[in-house]
Amino acid sequence: DAGITQSPRHKVTETGTPVTLRCHQTENHRYMYWYRQDPGHGLRLIHYSYGVKDTDKGEVSDGYSVSRSKTEDFLLTLESATSSQTSVYFCAISESDTGDTQYFGPGTRLTVL
Amino acid sequence: KQEVTQIPAALSVPEGENLVLNCSFTDSAIYNLQWFRQDPGKGLTSLLLIQSSQREQTSGRLNASLDKSSGRSTLYIAASQPGDSATYLCAVKGGAGSYQLTFGKGTKLSVIP
């Protein structure tokens, strides 16, 4: 299995609270991604990174920000969590943007009350 | 916008049966197609990656085919086992001017002993 860890694995928070999820990889892959998975919607891309300090928006980026200060770490921040952000969040990595397999982390289950 | 459809949404088969899962996509200008497996409460495990120039890939009892011109892929599972029970996700990279991975909503497979 690709060396990807996510923390925390489970979190319950209240509306309006800031939340940061961490993704850590040991594979030295250039590309990192954050997805959310919701019933009826499947997996949707939130943000991705193509290098240190290089990030871009995905399909559902509103309400989320990201940062990547080191190759191995990609942070997802919910500045002010809302109930609609209750979801399972997955981090993924890949060596290239077009030709390679994406490997996924174990996920973080976030509940916003 | 690239759209990916998986049919059927759920499938139940007796152990030992051969089966086919279907995936279709709307824009054929893709880089590759990937099949994943997801067990309940777990992350995604990559099964097979087919590049746009390839017609099929095989791994053990799994065979995936790609017909890019018609926007279709199939995942063939031979001699199904109860351990194959999981949700199978199809994802395409690219299409509709995007470099990103677009997922189908999955087929939930149950293999009955």
Rounded to an integer, what distance in angstroms lies between the CA atom of residue B13 and that of residue B57? 23
Q: Which residue has the tokens 């997996």?
A: A43
Look at residue B83 and give its three-state secondary structure. Answer: helix
Query: Which of B50, B54, B103 is the mutation pick for testing A, counting most A CBs within 10 A?
Result: B103
In this structure, chain B runs to a length of: 113
Q: Do A107 and B104 touch (CB under 8 A)?
A: no
Local confidence band at B54 (pLDDT 50, 70, 90 cut-offs): very high
Interface residue ranges in chain A relative to chain B, Cβ cutoff 8 Å: 33, 40-45, 48, 58-59, 90, 92, 97-107
Rounded to an integer, what distance in angstroms lies between the CA atom of residue A17 and that of residue A79? 7
**Mean pLDDT value of segment B41-61:** 94
> Using one digit for the tens of pLDDT, what is the confidence trace for B60-83?
999 999 999 999 999 999 999 999
Tell which residue, A20, A110, A109, A37, has the closest CA to residue A73: A20
Give residue A101's pLDDT. Answer: 87
- CB-CB neighbours of B55 under 10 Å: 10
Give residue A48's pLDDT. Answer: 94
Q: Locate B17 and state its tokens.
A: 């049966």
CA A105, A110, B3, B7 torsion-angle sign: positive
Tell which residue, A94, A18, A33, A98, has the closest CA to residue A68: A33
